[in-house]
Amino acid sequence: MADLKDLLQSADWKTEKHVPVIEAQDLAKKGEFFKITVSVGKEIPHPNKTEHYISWIGVYFQPQGEKYPYQIAKTEFTSHGASINGADTSTVYTHPEMSAVFKTDKPGVIYASSYCNIHGLWQSSRELKIG
């Protein structure tokens, strides 16, 4: 049996539509709130249809020198065109993008994960410096 960590996939988001893309400033000010945005399908759009969609995006931050990351946010996307009339008959669709605001006094790594109902778990990371 595989460990969960072995099921997380990663790739270059410019060539793979499932990878969560983390957008944040490279240098945050100590103790001041700042915004990060995470999306899936930035360069190559991910389908958002009843049969193929991104279910959720999770964001975590691991401060330098600490053993475990903190969960910053998790957003679920629940409208993919389904209705009582069948698949892709609704006009309501969500887009896999979310924003979160947090602050920290330590540099570290921002991690993002996402889940595609067909292609599984994906991850990415980005270093955060504190000035």
Question: Which residues are tagged catalytic?
Answer: 16-18, 46, 52, 116, 119
User: Whole-angstrom Cα distance, residue 47 to residue 44?
Assistant: 10
Helix (H, G, I), strand (E, B) or coil at 125: strand
Q: CB neighbours of 2 closer than 8 A, spacing ≥ 6? A: none
